[in-house]
Chain A
Amino acid sequence: QSALTQPASVSGSPGQSITISCTGTRSDVGGYNYVSWYQHHPGKAPKLMIYDVSNRPSGVSNRFSGSKSGNTASLTISGLQAEDEADYYCSSYTTSSTWVFGGGTKLTVL
């Protein structure tokens, strides 16, 4: 079971939009709509930002949105803010009845 593939880093200026990709296979991302995204600030517990590909939990800003096409899911953050600087991880259910995370993407707000 391999980790999902994410870019190691992305960056953007305040107010801009960025997109983080998450590529898997038909056995995970492509086979299910159970894709979720997590924000992780160092030293704190991760936070669920998107579930079921594109749904936001209560309290999460609508600047965060998710989508999926084939074996690749994406997280888009619009109107970047300094507080968005963090590590982001995607996760998917798999055909082995397990979950798998992506390798993580470090977002830098310039």
Chain B
Amino acid sequence: EVQLVQSGAEVKKPGESLRISCKGSGYKFTSYWISWVRQMPGKGLEWMGRIDPGDSYTNYSPSFEGHVTISADKSISTAYLQWNSLKASDTAMYYCARADWIGLDYWGQGTLVTISS
């Protein structure tokens, strides 16, 4: 069974750093991309970027480039989404999803990130 299990909810202060994770199982991790999707409170889904775990190639939405970093460790089938300096506007639910040309076919359960002073 394909599963993506994300790390738990986080509460951070502005300016702090954060890395959340997404562990894949039940399939060959390097055969599919991992995409990250943001949903701010009361808003829609936003595609942030993706990584090819096989070679760590990444590309980002222009809206997120430079603000987050996507990485992966294929040895433990885990992808990451990282911030170096959080802002209140980063408060959102973040989903990882298995991706290929057909779309995002399996999703993690989501990680709620709350940024508050």
A: residues with CB less than 8 A from B are 1, 3, 34, 36, 38, 40, 45-48, 51-52, 55, 57, 87, 89, 91, 93, 96-104
Contact = CB atoms under 8 A, between A and B. Distances in A.
Contacts of B27: none
Given A45-B95, A45-B109, A97-B59, A102 B104 contact: no
A48 B45 contact: no
What is the interface of chain A mostly: helix, strand, loop, or mixed? Answer: strand
Contact of B63 (A1, A36, A89, A102): A1
Nearest first, the 3 closest Cβ-Cβ pairs linking A and B are A36-B103, A104-B44, A45-B107
B48 to A, nearest CB: 10
30 contacts: A1-B61, A1-B62, A3-B44, A3-B46, A36-B102, A36-B103, A36-B104, A38-B45, A40-B45, A45-B95, A45-B109, A46-B37, A46-B45, A48-B103, A48-B104, A48-B105, A51-B102, A51-B103, A52-B101, A57-B102, A89-B45, A91-B47, A97-B59, A98-B47, A98-B49, A98-B61, A99-B47, A101-B37, A101-B44, A102-B44
Contact of A89 (B44, B97, B107): B44
